[in-house]
Structure 1
Amino acid sequence: MAKNTVKQDEKVISLKNKEIFLRLISYLRPFKIKVIFILLLMIVIMISGLLSPMILQIAIDNYIDTKNIVGMLVISGVLLALNIVSMYSQRASILQMNKITNNILLNIRQELYVHIQKLSFSFFDDRPVGKILARVVGDVNSLSELFSNAVTTLIPQTLTIISVAAIMFYLNPSLALISITVLPLLFVALFGLQVFIRSKWQVYRQKRSNLNGFTHESFSGIRIIQNFTYEKEISKSFKNSVNDLMDSFVNAVFYNDFFWPIVDFSWGLSSILIFWYGAKLSQTGSVTIGTIAAFISYSGMFWRPILNIASFYNTLITNFAAAERIFEIMDINPDIEDLESNEIMPLIKGTVEFKNVTFGYEKHIPVLHNVSFKIKPGETIALVGPTGAGKTTITSLVSRFYDTNKGEVLIDGKNVKDVNLNSLRSQMGIMLQDTFLFSDTIKENIRYGKLDATEEEIIEAAKAVNAHEFIMQLENGYDTQVNERGSRLSVGQRQLISFARALLANPRILILDEATSNIDTATEILVQKGINKLLHGRTSFVIAHRLSTIRDCDKIMVIDNGTIIEAGTHDELIRRKGFYYNLYMAQYRFLNEGA
């Protein structure tokens, strides 16, 4: 049972702001040379900005009063040159930073996607696919502005504040002190506000994830929705999800927008204090008019970086919720660990043994109870029993999609926990009842079983399972697009292609989970011949509810309530007149009555 649904808010483990920030900044390391270049450009911009008020002071005090036209032209030329250099540097830094940001987002998304691929089935059992997509796509995209501002805003603006403050104290220490008296008030207000803002953006991310999961699920099940004329009801649910998202966004923005009035009020108050105190000093002749003019310019230069840093801090807090959701998944350790010390699985001969295996998808609710059996190489074993008895669970443990709670699963005497996962699974072929085809051609879907397969090998595999004939009747044959999840094909056709894919893989251990359940009787007779060829010389597990298809298996194991209650050949189990006999006869009578 999934721990989270499309209508349920996800519980995300909160991380400390410092931890999130340091992890985000670490993604800049591969680009440190380019970042240094951008910082140099930002320093050029900063120096150009710092020099302008000084040049203005010289112009006012030395050239305007004396009406020195030549000096004024020189000063104007210097200012123009500084602005051109600043403009070019600004453009170049933004262009380079955008490239770096895009590469960082690519790296994060790739790292997240690769990590998710390594996670166990239990991870996907616990949450809707749409919510996983929300993190891979939406949450990663949300970090774009954060990275670009980290370099172009945080570092250069901090240097600007320090430089401007030093110049202000050099010009007039008392005026400088007056201008920064409101900073403590600003910092207290902003840090107190960020606690509310972060929690509100966390709620927004949760609601957006819910909407994404709901939309993905509803479109995946559109045939069911239309079949049961459920469009109005599902539209109401969608509207409710959208309204939840809108309300959470408005609530987050409401607190978020308190940032700017606080900063603007602090800046305005500081400006009033500077004008008031500057006027007093000018009356006593303590400062010149040029100094006051320069100081007012520097005051603006002091507060603009503070405004920019406050904006960056606001962006940081806003996107911490997204980063938190990304890092939470990255910090999940796979239940199935492939350790570096695990040995490569040699060519599998086919001995499979369960030793006192107990397993449950939830540890306190076991599905298998102390199961033990041993299969010889090349044997074909049928697993029979009621739905939910544990048949598919046995095959999942053989493939090590899950690890046992107790006991061991051995292949050729090697514990599956001690061998490399890829070397183990690459020697297995699995065909499930719920066949999955990718949005590609029939040819490429079959080739998924062997990525370097030639076209001749693909066609040969299709012919072996009698899929070739219907494929050639399609408009583009093997190059026919099957659409998402193979929706263009019938269920039986999808199953035949899936079977050809498994055949092409040429596995050492074969698992057929209700492999012929969706194929009509006439086609099944033909496919059964292909199955017999495939089963020959391989250890095979066949799960089937249609008992007529497993009569020739080397051994039939009857599973009920997570235990093996009977085992033997078809004839042996019929003679015992136990569970299998009753199941077989009931199915035989049902088919006769239906006929």
Structure 2
Amino acid sequence: MSTETQNPGGPLDDEKPEPETGAITTVARPRPGGGPFGGGGMPAEKSKNFGTSAKRLVGRLRPEAFKIVWVFVLSIVSVVFTVLGPKILGQGTTLIFEGVISKSLPKGATQQQIIDGLRAKGEDSQADLLSGMHLTPGVGIDFGTLSTVLFWVLALYCLSSIFGWLQALVLNVVTQRTIYRLREDVETKINRLPLSYFDRMPRGELLSRVTNDIDNISQTLQQTMSQLLNSLLSVIGVLVMMFVVSPLLAAISLVTIPLTVLITALIAKRSQPLFVAQWKHTGELNAQIEEGFTGHSLVKVFGRQREVQEVFDRKNEELFKASFGAQFVSGIIMPAMMFVGNLVYVVIAVVGGLQVANGSMRLGDVQAFIQYSRQFTQPLTQLGSMANLLQSGVASAERVFELLDAEEQSEDPATPAVPAEKKGRLAFEDVTFSYSPEKPLIEGLNLSVEPGQTVAIVGPTGAGKTTLVNLMMRFYELNSGRITLDGVDIATMSRDGLRSRMGMVLQDTWLFGGTIRDNIAYGRPDATEDEIMDAAKATYVDRFVHTLPDGYDTVLDDEASNVSAGEKQLLTIARAFLARPSVLILDEATSSVDTRTEVLVQHAMKALRSDRTSFVIAHRLSTIRDADLILVMENGTIVEQGNHGELLAAEGAYFRLYNAQFAGPVTEGY
């Protein structure tokens, strides 16, 4: 495609667009009015619908359903092995304790005889303690049985770790593939959004949604899915084992659940709006930094460092307050959960000790239950601590979903029309267009341009010159009327098909990181080396390239700072030359070129324009004297048209514009 891949305006002539259907090429400039010196922070947004957004985020995992089933299976197996460990380990503790007690008892007597003797002496508490044990008087610890118990405990924990690792591996695949598809969807969406969306959205804010917010979603899914699943399964598994060991102590532990739910709900309700504000202010700060860095030279020239710093400090302070508030409020959850867990732990220790003393529980079972109580409260604490991460991730998801839900440009026709010839004949038939209904711009425009003609468009700022070009490229859709290319309505053509027949060179150059050869070949990737060289020579790029150390293999950085502004513009012109379009659009394309080079480029363009339609937007009227047709626009209307001599002789709007440039100060209105 021959179109220069940059935002052509939308609009450049001081018009203020409103939401509408249109089209884009690729990168958009920052929103007008949001430059390095302006743009106050907006009030923090209220919390969006957390449940709906969370459900939608989980819904994006649906393509990985089979793997998620395996995650569940592996998690269940891992948790089962984990919760069985304390029960078996408690048996080992019981073996040691009862072995020590048995060793101290007289050999030859039975356990019941010893208990009856203690009761006869009035030592009922000791008798109750011994009655809850399985003793062999005079025999010490059974190390054989103890070794078997310890072996099974070790085996269970090892198997639990292995299955936990496998679960984490599969879950990582699920998460990364989900984020991969999300990034693909965002990229596809961006290419389907109308140009008006980028007029409203600051570039830094958009970049923040595409990078920071998606990375935050990835981190949230990776951490919360694993912990959430393991925590829920652990709570269920531990709760079952607790009832197996002691229903009374299990009932006491259940008090933790309603307290946990209540505390988490109360805190989350207050922290969610703060997380939404945190990521909103992150996007605003990124937008301000990006704009400030982009216009860094301008900031220095006008000595506005202090104002830029003040804007940065204000937005940084807003981000600090939102982030601090979100983390502080949500950070209360874990200490609160730990406090509740410790209270329950104390109650369990006291009641369990009393049950061992009266012989209703064995010591190993109490030890196992204490471990279970810790395992029970720990997942609940983790669930509470995950609340801040989950809220942060859902807040980011809401911002990404807003981008995915944005209104798209209209669909291309199912069967797009293709002009039978490639001449470049353009016609505007009763065209009406405005960026907002209350502010008419172009009304009832009629214009016919024949192949090979060079049409210059002049007029004061805001007259609609660039808008006219944007309509030709279908960056915006018409309100009424139609534009035809070689007899075919451009609305019936695909956008790619239309733009492949047009070449556009803008005042704002766009070059990417790569060699000079690659940047020229961007106009037609399948061009041969000879064709690239011919285009470079025709546009006088060849003249300065040979002064560079690596010639055409010179690598341009992202800002193309290793070539001058005029050389950048020559490269973009060479790119359009290489594409050989049927319609060539030059929007102040030689504004950064020196006078001598401009004359040479004008001669080259004259050769290129042979049998092709050319539109030239120019403020320097001296550059369009030889145009076949000059259109003078005011307020979206063509007020005069003709060649240079005819318009001067008419002594109308063009005459005043021309004299204003060469005879002194600009007159009012121009």
TM-score in same-fold range (> 0.5): yes
User: Which deviates more, 156-165 or 581-590?
Assistant: 581-590
Q: Distance in 2 between matches of 1:415 and 1:161?
A: 66
What is the SS of the residue equivalent to 1:566? strand
Give the alignment partner of residue 105 of structure 1, picking from 164, 169, 179: 179
What residue identity is the alignment partner of 1:16? N
User: Which amino acid is the alignment partner of residue 300 of structure 1?
Assistant: R
2:313 paired with 1:239: yes
Q: Is the 8 A contact 2:454 2:629 kept in 1?
A: yes
Q: Which residue of 1 aligns with 2:216?
A: 142
Q: CA deviation digits over 1:145-200, x for unaligned, max 9?
A: 31113432222322222222223233333332221124223212211221211111
CA gap 1:178/1:245 in 2 versus in 1, 3 angstroms = same
The answer on whether the counterparts of 1:41 and 1:89 sit within 8 Å (CA) in structure 2 is yes
CA shift digits 1:533-568 (9 cap, x unpaired) = 221112221112222333333322211111111223
Residue aligning to 1:337:
410
Q: Does 1:449 align with 2:523?
A: yes
Shift of 1:15: 4.2
For 2:213 and 2:270, the matched residues in 1 are separated by 20
Q: Does 1:292 align with 2:325?
A: no
User: Could you say what secondary structure the match of 2:497 adopts?
Assistant: helix
Whole-angstrom distance in 1 between the partners of 2:579 and 2:43: 39
> Per-residue displacement from partner, 1:274-317 (whole Å, max 9, x unpaired)?
33444555565444433333222222222222222223333111
In structure 2, do the counterparts of structure 1 residues 255 and 139 end up closer, same or farther at CA, with 3 Å as the change threshold?
Answer: same
CA distance in 1, matches of 2:628, 2:52: 58
Shift of 1:511: 0.7
Distance 1:13 1:80 in 2: 51
1:534 alignment partner in structure 2 = 608
Report the AA paired with residue 434 of structure 1.
D
Query: Aligned residue for 1:426?
Result: 500
* Residue in structure 1 matched with residue 555 of structure 2 by the alignment: 481
Structure 2 residue matching 1:387: 3-state secondary structure = coil
Amino acid paired to 1:341: A
Query: C-alpha separation between the residues in 1 aligned to 2:628 and 2:70?
Result: 71
Paired AA for residue 490 in structure 1: S
Which residue does the alignment assign to 1:198?
272
Whether the 8 Å CA contact 2:80–2:237 is kept in 1: the answer is no
* Per-residue Cα deviation, 1:212-254 (whole angstroms, up to 9, x for no partner): 1121111111212222343344334433433332232222222
More helix, by proportion? 1
Closer, same or farther: CA 293–521 of 1 in aligned 2, 3 Å: closer
State the one-letter code of the partner of 1:48: F
Give the superposition deviation at 1:498. Answer: 0.9
The code of the aligned residue for 1:408 comes to: R
Kept in 2, the 8 Å contact 1:4–1:126? The answer is no
Instruction: Return the alpha-carbon distance in structure 1 between the equivalents of residues 188 and 46 of structure 2.
Output: 21
Letter in 2 for 1:495: Q
Deviation, 1:499, is: 0.6
Deviation of 1:392 after TM superposition, in Å, equals 0.7
Deviations 1:424-470 (A, max 9, x none): 11221001122222232221111111122222211110111122111
- Residue type matched to 1:72 in 2? L
The CA deviation at 1:112 is 1.8
CA distance in 2, matches of 1:197, 1:581: 65
What residue number does 2:79 align with? Answer: 46
Q: Secondary structure at the match of 1:82?
A: helix
TM-score by length of 2: 0.82
Q: CA deviation at 1:373?
A: 2.0
What SS class does the counterpart of residue 564 from structure 1 fall into? strand
Q: CA deviation at 1:496?
A: 1.2
**Ranges in structure 1 where 5+ consecutive residues have no aligned partner:** none
Maintained 8 Å contact 1:359/1:406: yes
Which residue of structure 2 lines up, in the alignment, with residue 328 of structure 1?
Answer: 402
- Sequence identity, in percent? 35
The alpha-carbon deviation at position 22 of structure 1 amounts to: 2.6
Report Cα offsets for 1:407-432 as digits up to 9, x if no partner. Answer: 33333444333322112112210011
1:406 to 1:14, Cα distance in 2 relative to 1, 3 A: farther
Instruction: Work out whether 1:386 is the aligned partner of 2:460.
Output: yes
- The aligned residue for residue 153 of structure 1 is 227
Task: Answer yes or no: is the 8 Å Cα contact 1:353–1:375 preserved in 2.
Answer: yes
Distance 1:354 1:273 in 2: 85
CA shift, 1:393, in A, is 0.4
Q: Which residue in the other structure is 1:221 paired with?
A: 295
Determine the C-alpha separation between the residues in 1 that align with 2:329 and 2:83: 34
SS in 2 for 1:132: helix
Quote how far apart the aligned CAs of 1:342 are: 5.3
> What residue is the counterpart of 2:122 in the other structure?
none
SS of alignment partner, residue 476 of structure 2: coil
Asked if 2 retains the 8 angstrom alpha-carbon contact of 1:462 and 1:468, the reply is yes
AA paired with 1:298?
Y
Please report how far the alpha carbon of residue 345 of structure 1 lies from its aligned counterpart in structure 2 after TM superposition.
3.6
Q: Which has the higher contact order (CA 8 A, sep 6+)?
A: 2
Change (3 A) 1:145 1:492: closer
TM-score by length of 1: 0.91
Q: Residues of 1 paired with 2:32 and 2:651: CA distance? A: 42
Q: 2:483 aligns with which of 394, 409, 416?
A: 409
Could you tell me which residue of structure 2 aligns to residue 262 of structure 1? Answer: 336
Count the aligned residue pairs.
590
Q: Following the alignment from structure 2 to structure 1, what is the Cα–Cα distance between the partners of residues 153 and 570?
A: 76
Q: Which residue of 2 aligns with 1:26?
A: 59
Deviation at 1:390, TM superposition (A): 0.4
Which residue matches 2:150?
Answer: 76
Farther-moved stretch of structure 1 (529-538 vs 98-107): 98-107
Shift of 1:63: 6.9
Q: SS of the residue aligned with 2:244?
A: helix
Query: What's 1:94 paired with?
Result: 168
User: CA–CA distance in 1 between the matches of 2:640 and 2:374?
Assistant: 86
CA drift of 1:368 comes to 2.0
Residue 174 (structure 1) aligned to one of 236, 248, 256: 248
Task: Provide the alpha-carbon RMSD of the alignment.
Answer: 2.7
Aligned to 1:185: 259
Q: What are structure 2's unaligned runs of at least 5 residues?
A: 1-15, 17-30, 100-140, 666-670
SS at structure 2 position matched to 1:293: helix
**In the aligned structure 1, how far is the partner of 2:388 from the partner of 2:177?**
23
Aligned counterpart, 2:533 = 459
Counterpart residue identity of residue 165, structure 1: L
SS in 2 for 1:357: strand
- Superposition deviation, residue 208 in structure 1: 1.9
